[in-house]
Structure 1
Amino acid sequence: MHQVMEQNVRIVSRVQWRAAPPKQRERQKSLARRVVIHHTATPSCRGLEKCKEQIFSIQRDHMTERGFSDIGYNFLVEGGGIVFEGRGWGVVGAHTKGNNLDSLGIAFIGNFNNDAPSKEAILSVKQLLQSGVSQGFLCKEFSLLGHRDLGDTECPGENLYSALPNLRGTT
């Protein structure tokens, strides 16, 4: 079992969580200029094995119930800070209607209307964003938004939304 290490970020690949192949993939035409933070509004999970099945279930829901070509998010992070590859870098997501072409969607696994994001998850996402900038997938001066900033939703939950300032200034 190997994970890709990017600036101390442990990223579990699609192969490792046994992702279904996407029906199609659209590459982003330029660097992402925005990062949109979401929550999955599902139970939280910790650990590789416990979260793999949950992420596969999210992908199945996105593809069968919502009609997406793949899981909607570019990355997902669990409570211990493990990052799971969704669509990955440089791929157009399906996370924020009308705002996907120039953005990266990152979902915290759990429901943050009640729960607070862990320090480990916040740190991992900060490191992931730094990695995205250094690898040339994310503009250095990217905007960081909550899903609710772009749509009529409570997402990413009150407690995660109030933690967004902890993710800013990552580069």
Structure 2
Amino acid sequence: MSRLCALLAWALLALQGLGKEATEDEACCGPIVPRREWRALASECAQELKLPARYVVVSHTAGSHCDTPALCLQQAQNVQHYHARTLGFCDVGYNFLIGEDGLVYEGRGWKIKGDHSGPTWNPRAIGITFMGNFMERSPHPRAIRAAKSLLACGVARGALIPNYEVKGHRDVQQTLSPGDRLYDIIQEWPHYRE
């Protein structure tokens, strides 16, 4: 129970911007849960992404959704374990993971090339994924806000060009990702391009 209370306290502090000095990401972004705080395995990735990136590929994990910091922390760990231990990736495949708790979880971050959309798109795009399956339901609005805030942050940090393009995972690979409901939403975003 005390672990859950600690996670909830951390989430409240993060949402209020209190509890620690602002990092470079927090200076222009909403709270991003760093890898150490969701207890990520050490990354074995080294290949850097050429920044600023022109593309963002949006996907969904197609697994369980999460709507609390405790559940999203566990889900981020589950995704990383699947990618690193089962698929043999050097780390979690995404640059960032979005929880329905309204928080962004750091995957490979802005600078490291992801494994999210195949050999053509991985070197050219930031990969963000929504944790859950969005074929039949839409993500909570706070998850959408978190993703939009992350994209604005990417531009402010110089990690994305100002006229970046958003693509759905299904636009660049043969897949149902990011799910029908989430795909409907991102098609309305001003930077979306098929």
TM-score, normalised by the number of residues in structure 2: 0.82
Which residue number corresponds to residue 56 of structure 2? Answer: 35
Which residue number corresponds to residue 118 of structure 2? Answer: 97
Letter in 2 for 1:111: N
Deviates more, 1:22-31 or 1:142-151: 22-31
Counterpart CA distance in 1 for 2:134 and 2:174 is: 17
Of 34, 43, 49, the residue aligned with 1:13 is 34
Structure whose residues are more often strand by fraction: 1
Q: Does 1:141 align with 2:155?
A: no
The 8 Å contact of residues 7 and 127 in structure 1, kept in 2 or not, is answered as no
Of 173, 187, 190, the residue aligned with 1:151 is 173
The 8 Å contact of residues 36 and 105 in structure 1, kept in 2 or not, is answered as yes
Matched position secondary structure for 1:55:
helix
CA RMSD of superposed structures (Å)? 1.7
Which residue number corresponds to residue 17 of structure 2? Answer: none
Which residue number corresponds to residue 46 of structure 1? Answer: 67
Counterpart CA distance in 2 for 1:65 and 1:149 is: 26
TM-aligned CA distance change 1:9 to 1:121, over 3 Å = same
Following superposition, the deviation at residue 20 of structure 1 comes to 0.3
Counterpart CA distance in 1 for 2:115 and 2:159 is: 17
Following superposition, the deviation at residue 29 of structure 1 comes to 2.5
Consecutive aligned runs of 4 or more in structure 1 exceeding 2 Å deviation? 1-8, 165-170
Deviates more, 1:109-118 or 1:161-170: 161-170
Counterpart CA distance in 2 for 1:168 and 1:18 is: 34
Following superposition, the deviation at residue 94 of structure 1 comes to 0.4
Which residue number corresponds to residue 88 of structure 1? Answer: 109
Between Structure 1 and Structure 2, how many residues are aligned?
170
Counterpart CA distance in 2 for 1:39 and 1:109 is: 6
The 8 Å contact of residues 40 and 77 in structure 2, kept in 1 or not, is answered as yes
Which residue number corresponds to residue 18 of structure 2? Answer: none
TM-aligned CA distance change 1:87 to 1:101, over 3 Å = same
Counterpart CA distance in 1 for 2:85 and 2:62 is: 18
Following superposition, the deviation at residue 6 of structure 1 comes to 4.7
Of 123, 133, 149, the residue aligned with 1:127 is 149
TM-aligned CA distance change 1:151 to 1:159, over 3 Å = same
Gap runs ≥5 in structure 1? none
Q: Does 1:61 align with 2:93?
A: no
Deviates more, 1:97-106 or 1:4-13: 4-13
